[in-house]
Amino acid sequence: MSFFESITKKSKLKAAIKQTAEARSSEGHTADQLFKKVYQDYAEVVANEPLVAEALYNWGFALLHQARTKSGEAAANLYQDAIAKFSFCLTVEPAYLGAAIDGGVAYMELARVKAVEPNDSLYGRAKSYFEKANAIQAGSASYNLACIYGLRDDKEACLTALEISKGKGSLPIAADILADPDLDGVKYQDWFVDFMESLNKKPEAAAKVSEAVVEEVALNEKIEVEDIYAKDAIINEETEVVVKDDSAVIASEAVVEHNAVVDEDAPVNEKTKVAVEAGEAVEEVK
């Protein structure tokens, strides 16, 4: 926070304290309006303080986990303290997702400790926190909402929340869903069984894409094999041509040897020798 922001907030705080005294001395609707304005001023003073919000969230998170190690009134007091920290955190930082989700979780666990009915206000407050979490990040608390709807045996709302959670990628693994006591009342109903079975099915679009990829790979392999055979054929043809060419060269050289011409400039003795040999060859043919 800058020095200027600090001075501004201090002035607003002093004004809020003064208005609080005025509200206390007022009555009825006037007092209510003054208190409402005071609360807004206090909220602005503590807002946009990331370090404060983080400290409050982690404080509440620690209280939430300690409450799980207790029972009865001791647990209830810790849950209520955790909720207060999460609530204050959201006042400081309204978009703090963790505080919104864990605030709802704390309310649900407090409701279990107090053994209240699913339609009790504690579950209603938990629902409000989860809805706030979804407003911050779509689908982030849809599974939590599904649990509340499951406790209330609200089939359509529960299934819708589960589908949203699935679509947003925030759904727990199947084993955890089946082990969740909040869904004990619905997990053997046909619609829930169908939903769980759908988690094991490969999406049709994904299946088609997978098949297309396999076909493409097979086609590429076939083309590669055909290319190899084609290249071998070309090599064999070239080799055959080379062999034929070599044979032609050899044959040509042989013809040259048999068609030797007498050198007129050679010495007489050599000319005579060649002529004699040629004559002998003719006689032998006859």
What band does 38 get if pLDDT is binned at 50, 70 and 90?
confident
What band does 107 get if pLDDT is binned at 50, 70 and 90?
very high
DSSP element (H, E) containing 1: none
Tokens 């949203």 sit on residue:
164
Tokens of 42: 């206090």
Q: For residue range 113-126, list pLDDT tens digits in order.
A: 999 999 999 999 99
Residues 6+ apart with CB under 8 A from 180: 147, 172
Q: What is the DSSP letter of 203?
A: P
SS (H, E, C) 204-220: HHHHHHHHHHHHHHHHH
Least confident stretch, 62-76, 205-219, 261-275: 261-275
Max Cα separation, the chain? 155
State if pTM tops 0.75: no
Residues 6+ apart with CB under 8 A from 172: 143, 180
Confidence (pLDDT) at 23: 86
> Is residue 111 over pLDDT 60?
yes
Between 215 and 9, the more confident residue is 9
| Domain boundaries defined on the chain | 139-201, 206-285
Tokens 């009865």 sit on residue:
72
Are 159 and 193 in contact by the 8 Å Cβ rule? The answer is no
Confidence (pLDDT) at 20: 87
Pick from 119, 156, 153, 149: nearest CA to 131: 149
What band does 153 get if pLDDT is binned at 50, 70 and 90?
very high
What band does 262 get if pLDDT is binned at 50, 70 and 90?
very low
Overall average pLDDT of the 94-109 stretch: 97
* Distance between first and last Cα of the chain: 126
- What are the C-alpha distances in Å from 177 to residues 70, 172, 199? 25, 6, 11
Between 154 and 206, the more confident residue is 154
- Report the 10 Å Cβ neighbour count for 35: 16
CA dist 3 and 147 (Å) reads 47
Confidence (pLDDT) at 123: 98
CA dist 68 and 106 (Å) reads 10
> Is residue 275 over pLDDT 90?
no
Confidence (pLDDT) at 242: 43
CA dist 107 and 265 (Å) reads 126
Least confident stretch, 3-17, 49-63, 265-279: 265-279
Helices (H) and strands (E) in the chain, counts: 12, 0
pLDDT, the chain, mean: 79
Residues 6+ apart with CB under 8 A from 116: 122, 123
Confidence (pLDDT) at 12: 78
Confidence (pLDDT) at 139: 97
